[in-house]
Amino acid sequence: MREGSNLIAYRCTRQMACPFFEPRTKLGEGPLDPPPRLPLGQAWGGVCVAPGFSRHEPEESEQRDICNTGYARGRCERFPSNSEADAVRFSAGRDGAIVYILEKDHSPLRFGIVNDQLESPLLEQAKAFSK
Ligand code: SF4
């Protein structure tokens, strides 16, 4: 029941990032004025943890345009073709809980409440989203 109400809130957002992106530091606003609203709240720099590219740091432009915005299938050569999800969305619930939703083909795949037991890079994305 509680998760359901948070899922309703999620549907009102358009926030998502690549499920293989591990954010580490804020990138700043960048060249666009005004800066776009980004999935993790602002532009984050980080590394790619896709299989075979572990800890690769993409160019900043790639991070801004693809890693931060998700749906990289067909746009990024590092995105695994067998990936379970295309993107991750986050939403802050009314009770302060943060909900994550893994998406595929623009539909929810699975979701849950963020907690310290989540694996990388989902947990790092949730921390970035909440900052
Ligand atoms: S968009 Fe590509 S480079 Fe960026 S995190 Fe995803 S798979 Fe890695």
Q: Ligand 1 centroid vs 63 CA: distance in angstroms? A: 8
Chain segment 15-30, per-residue pLDDT in tens: 589 999 999 999 988 7
Ligand 1: lining residues by beta carbon, under 6 Å: 18, 20-21, 48, 50, 58, 66-67, 72, 76, 78-79
Q: Ligand 1 centroid vs 94 CA: distance in angstroms? A: 31
Query: In sequence order, what are the beta bridge partners of 89?
Result: 101
**Predicted pLDDT of residue 14:** 52
Q: Does the pTM exceed 0.95?
A: no
Q: Tell me the one-letter amino acid at 39.
A: P
Q: Ligand 1 centroid vs 30 CA: distance in angstroms? A: 19
Verify cis geometry, omega within 30 degrees of 0, for the bond prior to 121.
yes
* Proportion of the chain above pLDDT 70, given as a percent: 89
DSSP letters, 9-53, are HHTT----B-TTEEEEEE--S-S-SSPPP-TTSS-EEEEE-STTS
**Predicted pLDDT of residue 2:** 41
Query: What are the residues whose beta carbons fall under 8 Å from the beta carbon of 131, sequence distance 6 or more?
Result: 41
Q: Ligand 1 centroid vs 47 CA: distance in angstroms? A: 8
Q: For 99-107, what is the mean pLDDT? A: 93
Q: Which atom of ligand 1 is nearest to the CA of 63?
A: 4
Residue 68 pLDDT level (bands cut at 50, 70, 90)? very high
